[in-house]
Structure 1
Amino acid sequence: MENEFGNLLKQLREQKGLTINQLADAAGISNSQISRMENGVRGVPKATTIRKLAEALNTSYGDLMIAAGYLEGADDLNESVAEQSPEWATSKDKRDFKKMLEEDGELMFDGIPLDQEDKQRIKDVLTGLFWEAKQMNKRKKNNNGTPDGK
Protein backbone atom coordinates (compact mmCIF):
# COMPACT_ATOMS: atom_id res chain seq x y z
CA MET A 1 0.00 0.00 0.00
CA GLU A 2 3.09 2.19 0.18
CA ASN A 3 2.68 3.58 -3.33
CA GLU A 4 -0.88 2.54 -4.11
CA PHE A 5 -1.65 5.81 -5.89
CA GLY A 6 1.47 5.71 -8.07
CA ASN A 7 0.93 2.07 -8.99
CA LEU A 8 -2.70 2.72 -9.93
CA LEU A 9 -1.76 5.80 -11.93
CA LYS A 10 0.83 3.86 -13.92
CA GLN A 11 -1.56 0.96 -14.48
CA LEU A 12 -4.33 3.27 -15.74
CA ARG A 13 -1.93 5.19 -17.95
CA GLU A 14 -0.61 2.01 -19.53
CA GLN A 15 -4.13 0.56 -19.96
CA LYS A 16 -5.04 3.69 -21.93
CA GLY A 17 -1.90 3.28 -24.03
CA LEU A 18 -0.51 6.65 -22.97
CA THR A 19 3.07 7.67 -22.44
CA ILE A 20 3.97 9.84 -19.47
CA ASN A 21 4.33 12.81 -21.84
CA GLN A 22 0.90 12.20 -23.37
CA LEU A 23 -0.75 12.01 -19.95
CA ALA A 24 1.11 15.13 -18.85
CA ASP A 25 -0.17 17.05 -21.88
CA ALA A 26 -3.74 15.81 -21.41
CA ALA A 27 -3.77 16.61 -17.68
CA GLY A 28 -1.89 19.90 -17.93
CA ILE A 29 0.80 18.89 -15.45
CA SER A 30 4.49 18.17 -15.90
CA ASN A 31 5.78 14.81 -17.04
CA SER A 32 8.35 14.80 -14.24
CA GLN A 33 5.54 15.20 -11.69
CA ILE A 34 3.74 12.17 -13.14
CA SER A 35 6.96 10.15 -13.18
CA ARG A 36 7.64 11.02 -9.53
CA MET A 37 4.08 10.03 -8.56
CA GLU A 38 4.31 6.70 -10.37
CA ASN A 39 7.67 5.89 -8.80
CA GLY A 40 6.64 6.88 -5.28
CA VAL A 41 9.16 9.72 -5.14
CA ARG A 42 6.48 12.40 -4.83
CA GLY A 43 3.91 12.42 -2.05
CA VAL A 44 0.18 12.25 -2.56
CA PRO A 45 -0.97 14.96 -4.98
CA LYS A 46 -3.59 17.54 -4.10
CA ALA A 47 -7.24 16.99 -4.99
CA THR A 48 -7.03 19.41 -7.93
CA THR A 49 -4.18 17.40 -9.47
CA ILE A 50 -6.09 14.18 -8.91
CA ARG A 51 -9.11 15.72 -10.67
CA LYS A 52 -6.95 16.63 -13.68
CA LEU A 53 -5.53 13.11 -13.84
CA ALA A 54 -8.98 11.52 -13.54
CA GLU A 55 -10.30 13.64 -16.41
CA ALA A 56 -7.24 12.98 -18.59
CA LEU A 57 -7.51 9.23 -17.95
CA ASN A 58 -11.32 9.23 -18.21
CA THR A 59 -11.49 7.39 -14.90
CA SER A 60 -13.22 7.76 -11.55
CA TYR A 61 -12.11 10.72 -9.44
CA GLY A 62 -13.36 8.84 -6.37
CA ASP A 63 -11.23 5.78 -7.13
CA LEU A 64 -8.14 7.94 -7.45
CA MET A 65 -9.00 9.75 -4.20
CA ILE A 66 -9.28 6.36 -2.48
CA ALA A 67 -5.91 5.24 -3.90
CA ALA A 68 -4.37 8.54 -2.76
CA GLY A 69 -5.55 7.83 0.78
CA TYR A 70 -8.04 10.69 1.00
CA LEU A 71 -11.00 8.31 1.12
CA GLU A 72 -11.53 4.78 2.34
CA GLY A 73 -14.73 4.28 0.35
CA ALA A 74 -18.15 5.80 -0.32
CA ASP A 75 -19.52 4.91 3.13
CA ASP A 76 -16.48 6.44 4.78
CA LEU A 77 -16.95 9.62 2.73
CA ASN A 78 -20.56 10.01 3.83
CA GLU A 79 -19.70 9.34 7.49
CA SER A 80 -16.71 11.68 7.43
CA VAL A 81 -18.64 14.51 5.81
CA ALA A 82 -21.39 14.08 8.39
CA GLU A 83 -19.01 14.14 11.35
CA GLN A 84 -16.96 17.09 10.02
CA SER A 85 -19.92 19.33 9.19
CA PRO A 86 -20.77 22.23 11.51
CA GLU A 87 -23.23 21.37 14.28
CA TRP A 88 -25.82 23.73 12.84
CA ALA A 89 -25.69 22.15 9.35
CA THR A 90 -28.66 19.90 8.75
CA SER A 91 -28.69 17.15 6.14
CA LYS A 92 -30.79 19.54 4.02
CA ASP A 93 -28.07 22.22 4.31
CA LYS A 94 -25.41 19.76 3.12
CA ARG A 95 -27.60 18.51 0.29
CA ASP A 96 -28.48 22.06 -0.77
CA PHE A 97 -24.84 23.16 -0.80
CA LYS A 98 -23.85 20.21 -2.97
CA LYS A 99 -26.81 20.82 -5.27
CA MET A 100 -25.94 24.52 -5.52
CA LEU A 101 -22.47 23.68 -6.81
CA GLU A 102 -23.69 20.98 -9.19
CA GLU A 103 -26.79 22.55 -10.74
CA ASP A 104 -26.82 24.67 -13.85
CA GLY A 105 -28.48 27.70 -12.23
CA GLU A 106 -26.54 30.94 -11.91
CA LEU A 107 -24.23 31.11 -8.93
CA MET A 108 -22.38 34.29 -8.13
CA PHE A 109 -19.38 35.18 -6.01
CA ASP A 110 -18.69 38.80 -5.19
CA GLY A 111 -21.15 39.82 -7.90
CA ILE A 112 -19.47 37.75 -10.61
CA PRO A 113 -21.35 34.80 -12.15
CA LEU A 114 -19.53 31.46 -11.82
CA ASP A 115 -19.34 29.09 -14.78
CA GLN A 116 -19.10 25.27 -14.53
CA GLU A 117 -15.31 25.41 -14.45
CA ASP A 118 -15.42 27.87 -11.52
CA LYS A 119 -17.92 25.66 -9.68
CA GLN A 120 -15.72 22.60 -10.25
CA ARG A 121 -12.69 24.48 -8.95
CA ILE A 122 -14.61 25.43 -5.80
CA LYS A 123 -15.62 21.80 -5.28
CA ASP A 124 -12.02 20.65 -5.85
CA VAL A 125 -10.60 23.21 -3.43
CA LEU A 126 -13.18 22.37 -0.77
CA THR A 127 -12.59 18.65 -1.25
CA GLY A 128 -8.84 19.11 -1.01
CA LEU A 129 -9.08 21.28 2.09
CA PHE A 130 -11.48 18.87 3.73
CA TRP A 131 -9.25 15.84 3.19
CA GLU A 132 -6.07 17.71 4.13
CA ALA A 133 -7.74 18.68 7.41
CA LYS A 134 -8.88 15.09 7.87
CA GLN A 135 -5.31 13.84 7.38
CA MET A 136 -4.00 16.44 9.86
CA ASN A 137 -6.55 15.28 12.42
CA LYS A 138 -5.44 11.66 11.95
CA ARG A 139 -1.80 12.66 12.53
CA LYS A 140 -2.75 14.58 15.67
CA LYS A 141 -4.64 11.55 17.01
CA ASN A 142 -1.71 9.25 16.20
CA ASN A 143 0.89 11.53 17.78
CA ASN A 144 -1.03 12.44 20.92
CA GLY A 145 -3.43 9.56 21.39
CA THR A 146 -6.39 11.89 21.69
CA PRO A 147 -8.16 14.12 19.17
CA ASP A 148 -7.37 17.37 21.01
CA GLY A 149 -3.86 16.49 22.15
CA LYS A 150 -4.69 16.55 25.89
Structure 2
Amino acid sequence: MAEEFGNYLKRLREGKGLTINQLASLAGISGAQISRIENGLRGVPKPATLRKIAEATDVSYEELMGHAGHLTESQSSTGGTGGSVPAWATSKDKRDFRQMLEDDGELMFDGIPLNKEDKQRIKDVLTGLFWEAKQMNKRTKPKHDSGTKE
Protein backbone atom coordinates (compact mmCIF):
# COMPACT_ATOMS: atom_id res chain seq x y z
CA MET A 1 0.00 0.00 0.00
CA ALA A 2 2.84 2.46 0.86
CA GLU A 3 4.49 1.91 -2.53
CA GLU A 4 1.18 2.34 -4.36
CA PHE A 5 0.47 5.57 -2.52
CA GLY A 6 4.02 6.76 -3.15
CA ASN A 7 3.57 6.25 -6.89
CA TYR A 8 0.23 8.05 -6.75
CA LEU A 9 1.76 10.99 -4.88
CA LYS A 10 4.64 11.25 -7.34
CA ARG A 11 2.23 11.28 -10.32
CA LEU A 12 0.07 13.85 -8.55
CA ARG A 13 3.04 16.09 -7.73
CA GLU A 14 4.48 15.87 -11.24
CA GLY A 15 1.04 16.46 -12.74
CA LYS A 16 0.85 19.71 -10.77
CA GLY A 17 4.30 20.67 -12.08
CA LEU A 18 5.83 20.68 -8.59
CA THR A 19 9.26 19.59 -7.48
CA ILE A 20 9.63 17.66 -4.24
CA ASN A 21 10.96 20.79 -2.54
CA GLN A 22 8.12 22.95 -3.84
CA LEU A 23 5.51 20.49 -2.55
CA ALA A 24 7.36 20.25 0.75
CA SER A 25 7.37 24.01 1.13
CA LEU A 26 3.68 24.35 0.23
CA ALA A 27 2.68 21.51 2.58
CA GLY A 28 4.95 22.52 5.45
CA ILE A 29 6.69 19.13 5.60
CA SER A 30 10.23 18.11 4.72
CA GLY A 31 11.34 17.25 1.22
CA ALA A 32 12.99 14.14 2.63
CA GLN A 33 9.63 12.97 3.98
CA ILE A 34 7.97 13.43 0.59
CA SER A 35 10.84 11.62 -1.11
CA ARG A 36 10.55 8.68 1.32
CA ILE A 37 6.77 8.53 0.77
CA GLU A 38 7.16 8.56 -3.01
CA ASN A 39 9.85 5.86 -2.94
CA GLY A 40 7.84 3.59 -0.63
CA LEU A 41 10.46 3.92 2.11
CA ARG A 42 7.96 5.39 4.55
CA GLY A 43 4.56 4.00 5.39
CA VAL A 44 1.34 5.61 4.27
CA PRO A 45 1.18 9.13 5.72
CA LYS A 46 -1.06 9.92 8.64
CA PRO A 47 -4.27 11.82 7.94
CA ALA A 48 -2.84 15.10 9.29
CA THR A 49 0.01 14.88 6.76
CA LEU A 50 -2.45 13.99 4.01
CA ARG A 51 -4.48 17.09 4.84
CA LYS A 52 -1.37 19.25 4.37
CA ILE A 53 -0.60 17.57 1.04
CA ALA A 54 -4.24 17.94 -0.06
CA GLU A 55 -4.21 21.65 0.66
CA ALA A 56 -0.83 22.10 -1.05
CA THR A 57 -1.88 20.24 -4.21
CA ASP A 58 -5.48 21.49 -4.28
CA VAL A 59 -6.74 17.88 -4.27
CA SER A 60 -9.60 16.82 -2.01
CA TYR A 61 -8.62 15.42 1.35
CA GLU A 62 -11.05 12.53 0.88
CA GLU A 63 -9.38 11.58 -2.40
CA LEU A 64 -5.96 11.39 -0.74
CA MET A 65 -7.43 9.47 2.21
CA GLY A 66 -8.93 6.98 -0.25
CA HIS A 67 -5.68 6.50 -2.17
CA ALA A 68 -3.83 6.07 1.12
CA GLY A 69 -6.22 3.30 2.17
CA HIS A 70 -7.67 5.24 5.10
CA LEU A 71 -11.13 5.23 3.50
CA THR A 72 -13.04 2.47 1.82
CA GLU A 73 -14.69 3.20 -1.52
CA SER A 74 -18.09 3.65 0.15
CA GLN A 75 -16.63 6.01 2.73
CA SER A 76 -14.96 8.08 0.01
CA SER A 77 -18.25 8.49 -1.84
CA THR A 78 -20.20 9.46 1.30
CA GLY A 79 -17.69 11.91 2.71
CA GLY A 80 -15.97 9.42 4.99
CA THR A 81 -18.80 8.48 7.27
CA GLY A 82 -20.27 5.53 5.51
CA GLY A 83 -23.64 7.12 6.31
CA SER A 84 -24.52 4.62 9.05
CA VAL A 85 -25.68 5.69 12.49
CA PRO A 86 -26.16 3.05 15.19
CA ALA A 87 -29.78 2.34 16.14
CA TRP A 88 -29.06 3.22 19.79
CA ALA A 89 -27.84 6.75 18.94
CA THR A 90 -29.91 9.59 20.33
CA SER A 91 -30.13 13.02 18.71
CA LYS A 92 -27.31 14.18 20.99
CA ASP A 93 -25.12 11.27 19.84
CA LYS A 94 -25.67 12.10 16.19
CA ARG A 95 -23.86 15.44 16.23
CA ASP A 96 -20.82 15.41 13.97
CA PHE A 97 -17.60 16.69 15.60
CA ARG A 98 -16.21 17.84 12.26
CA GLN A 99 -19.38 19.81 11.53
CA MET A 100 -19.32 21.35 15.00
CA LEU A 101 -15.73 22.50 14.45
CA GLU A 102 -16.53 23.85 10.98
CA ASP A 103 -19.65 25.76 12.04
CA ASP A 104 -19.30 29.44 12.84
CA GLY A 105 -20.91 29.07 16.28
CA GLU A 106 -18.82 29.59 19.38
CA LEU A 107 -17.19 26.53 20.87
CA MET A 108 -15.30 26.38 24.13
CA PHE A 109 -12.88 23.96 25.71
CA ASP A 110 -12.46 24.03 29.46
CA GLY A 111 -14.25 27.39 29.52
CA ILE A 112 -11.92 28.98 26.94
CA PRO A 113 -13.39 30.10 23.59
CA LEU A 114 -11.85 28.48 20.51
CA ASN A 115 -10.80 30.65 17.60
CA LYS A 116 -10.72 29.49 13.96
CA GLU A 117 -7.10 28.29 14.19
CA ASP A 118 -7.83 26.34 17.40
CA LYS A 119 -10.80 24.64 15.74
CA GLN A 120 -8.72 23.70 12.67
CA ARG A 121 -5.92 22.30 14.84
CA ILE A 122 -8.38 20.25 16.91
CA LYS A 123 -10.10 19.01 13.75
CA ASP A 124 -6.75 17.94 12.27
CA VAL A 125 -5.72 16.09 15.44
CA LEU A 126 -9.11 14.37 15.81
CA THR A 127 -9.08 13.37 12.13
CA GLY A 128 -5.62 11.86 12.50
CA LEU A 129 -6.54 9.98 15.66
CA PHE A 130 -9.84 8.78 14.22
CA TRP A 131 -8.32 7.31 11.04
CA GLU A 132 -5.38 5.87 12.93
CA ALA A 133 -7.83 4.09 15.22
CA LYS A 134 -9.81 2.84 12.21
CA GLN A 135 -6.61 1.39 10.72
CA MET A 136 -5.69 -0.25 14.04
CA ASN A 137 -9.17 -1.76 14.26
CA LYS A 138 -8.82 -3.21 10.76
CA ARG A 139 -5.55 -4.88 11.71
CA THR A 140 -6.85 -6.33 14.97
CA LYS A 141 -10.30 -7.40 13.77
CA PRO A 142 -9.34 -10.96 12.61
CA LYS A 143 -8.03 -11.73 16.09
CA HIS A 144 -11.54 -11.25 17.45
CA ASP A 145 -13.12 -13.40 14.76
CA SER A 146 -15.34 -16.26 15.90
CA GLY A 147 -12.58 -18.85 15.76
CA THR A 148 -12.37 -19.14 12.00
CA LYS A 149 -8.97 -19.44 10.39
CA GLU A 150 -7.96 -17.64 7.21
Q: Normalized against structure 2, the TM-score is what? A: 0.81
Match for 2:81 among 70, 78, 87? 78
Number of equivalent positions:
144
CA shift digits 1:108-130 (9 cap, x unpaired): 21232222222122222222212
What residue identity is the alignment partner of 1:139?
R
Partner of 1:139: 139
Distance change in 2, residues 1:7/1:138 (3 Å): same
Q: CA RMSD in A?
A: 2.6
Unpaired runs of at least 5, structure 2: none
Quick check: which one's helix share is greater?
A: 1
Aligned twin of 2:30: 30
1:36, distance to aligned residue in structure 2 (A): 0.4
Q: How far is the alpha carbon of 1:81 from its aligned partner?
A: 6.5
CA deviation after TM superposition for structure 1 residue 107, in Å: 1.4
Residue in structure 2 matched with residue 123 of structure 1 by the alignment: 123
- Counterpart CA distance in 1 for 2:91 and 2:69 is 26
State how 1:3-14 maps to structure 2 within 5 Å: 3-14=3-14
Q: Distance in 2 between matches of 1:96 and 1:134?
A: 17
User: How far apart, CA to CA, are the structure 2 residues paired with 1:96 and 1:138?
Assistant: 22
Between the aligned residues of both structures, percent identity stands at 67
Instruction: Report deviation, 1:88.
Output: 5.5
